Amino acid sequence: MDLEVELRFFAAARAAARTGSEHVPPGTLSQILNQLSAQNEELARVIPQCSFLVDALAVHDLDCEISAGSVIDVLPKFAGG
């Protein structure tokens, strides 16, 4: 069983993170995002503009618990129609 959470970055978040994915310990979505922001200034600027999918479901509650083995997709706003 996987003991970490996988984050997958897309578009501007991927550019800011300088990677397509990263693994972090489980916690609330807010804790995970705060940890990422503290480690990467560029990503800290992008994260507030993002929406998040946890295991393919949209999540708006940053206090939700993210379990080990889950996948978080970090999706910045996309241009276009």
- Cα 25 to Cα 15: distance, rounded to the nearest angstrom: 22
What torsion do the CA atoms of 79, 53, 41, 39 make, to the nearest 10 degrees? -160
Would the pLDDT of 79 be above 90? no
- Cα 75 to Cα 68: distance, rounded to the nearest angstrom: 20
Spell out the domain ranges in the chain: 5-76
Its CATH class, for the domain covering 5-76, is alpha beta
Contacts of 72 (CB under 8 A, 6+ apart): 5, 6, 7, 8, 29, 32, 52, 53, 54, 66
pLDDT digits (tens, 9 = 90+) for 27-70: 999 999 999 999 999 999 999 999 999 999 999 999 999 999 99
Would the pLDDT of 81 be above 50? no
Q: What is the pTM (predicted TM-score) of this model?
A: 0.92
